[in-house]
Amino acid sequence: MNEIGANRRNLDWTAQDVAQWLGVPLDGLGSMAISGMADIPVAEPTDLVFADDAAHCELAAERGCGAILTTPQSWAAAQKRPPAGILVSNVRASWVDLLERLEADAPFPAGIHPAAVIDPEAQLADDVSIGAFVTVAAGAVLHDGVRVDDGARVGAGCTIGAGTRIFANAVLYPNVRVGRRCRLHACCVIGADGFGYIAGPRGARKIPHVGGVVIGDDVEIGAAACIDRGRTGNTTIGSGCKLDNLVHVAHNVQIGDGTLIAALVGIAGSVRVGRGVVFGGQSGVADQLEIGDGARIAGRGAVVTNVPGGETWSGYPAGRHSNRIREAVALTYLPDLLKRVRRLERILFPGDDGTHRGDAP
């Protein structure tokens, strides 16, 4: 964590530089200085901003912004414009290109901090970067460009793919395999024992967990997220998966490539999640279930049955989102419906006062 914060406003870019890097046309003042990047509402005059439409171009001009990233169409349609327009076809993608360049301006030196403890039986590529108070245990293998930040733990027999970064105080238990270009955020815990017990003579008896965790390439694991090891086999997270903060993945879960899991989601033991699934925040899945490819679980959805691929589910218990929405709306009419039915009953069953049925008060 030695880089100077990326959002410093000390860039020495110009609008012309940016247009040239992106290979796109520039309209207006190419010499316009760019010292940072920001959203329009909080931009300084020399921050580069972006606009998806003409209205935001105009807003940027009113706010005194100097340079803007937008489409030729939005630029042409705007009544007012900042002095410099960098004209791109895909605003978001070009914005991300520039954020990547901004971030890359803070290179990180390779090397092993003298206050790290590396087991002599660990294998480290030449250009790894290891922070202070890191421990790397026996049999661990760290490939090219791996970076392990201060205080992180790499357990025995772990393998870390090229270009992966493990942030401060993250913990990898033994036998975790992580792919390339992953980002494992601070205080995440990969490979703790699963929550598995059998009935024993004196209460719950622990099932030792001797499996591992296998994580693909380009995976991001949020801060304080926890992925448990398998009992004997592995818990697996497919390539391209992104897990947000405080996500729980239990033992022996299998998650397909490209699945996105928002914060505070819990996935119970041995669940199989397909490819390209999306979990909204605080959703959950009971154990042993299957979630098909491309399914979407809405925020807070509580899944207790298998979910077919491609469907959107929500609710508690979760079902098809369209049904759950209808039911949620219908529920708001229910207090009134009770009265309406009582009224009907008074006509048809006049001698029946309804009390034995426990009418709602």
**Which of 25, 55, 73, 92 lies at the binding interface for its own copies (CB under 8 A)?**
92
Instruction: Find the binding residues for its own copies in span 53-82 (CB under 8 A).
Output: none
> Any contact of residue 112 with its own copies (CB under 8 A)?
no
> Any contact of residue 334 with its own copies (CB under 8 A)?
yes
How many CB atoms sit inside 10 A of residue 306's CB? 14
Which residue intervals of 212-355 are DSSP H helices?
A: 321-348
**Which of 81, 185, 272, 296 lies at the binding interface for its own copies (CB under 8 A)?**
185
Residue 15: name the closest of 65, 59, 57, 89 by CA.
65
Q: Retrieve residue 341's tokens.
A: 């039915």
Q: Please tell me whether residue 347 adopts helix, strand or coil conformation.
A: helix
**Which of 10, 107, 120, 344 lies at the binding interface for its own copies (CB under 8 A)?**
344
**Residue 113 known to be catalytic:** no
Cα–Cα distance between 118 and 120 in angstroms, integer? 6
- How many residues in the shown chain lie near its own copies by CB under 8 A? 129
> Any contact of residue 305 with its own copies (CB under 8 A)?
no
**Nearest distance from C-beta of residue 33 to its own copies, angstroms:** 17
Taking the least distance from each CB to its own copies, the nearer of 75 and 167 is 167
> Any contact of residue 37 with its own copies (CB under 8 A)?
yes
Cα–Cα distance between 289 and 274 in angstroms, integer? 11
Residue 189: name the closest of 212, 172, 206, 209 by CA.
172
Cα–Cα distance between 141 and 120 in angstroms, integer? 11
Taking the least distance from each CB to its own copies, the nearer of 126 and 200 is 200
Classify burial at 345, counting beta carbons within 10 Å of its beta carbon; exposed 0-12, middle 13-18, buried 19 or more.
middle
Instruction: Find the binding residues for its own copies in span 136-175 (CB under 8 A).
Output: 137-139, 149-151, 153, 155-157, 167-169, 171, 173-175
**Which of 54, 146, 264, 277 lies at the binding interface for its own copies (CB under 8 A)?**
264
Q: Retrieve residue 299's tokens.
A: 């925020």
Say if residues 209 and 229 touch (Cβ distance below 8 Å): yes
Taking the least distance from each CB to its own copies, the nearer of 27 and 94 is 94
Residue 215 CA to chain centroid, in angstroms?
15
Instruction: Find the binding residues for its own copies in span 16-35 (CB under 8 A).
Output: none
DSSP class of residue 235? E
Instruction: Find the binding residues for its own copies in span 193-222 (CB under 8 A).
Output: 193, 195, 197-198, 200, 202-208, 210-212, 218, 220, 222
Taking the least distance from each CB to its own copies, the nearer of 299 and 309 is 299
Taking the least distance from each CB to its own copies, the nearer of 46 and 175 is 175
Catalytic positions, written as ranges: 251
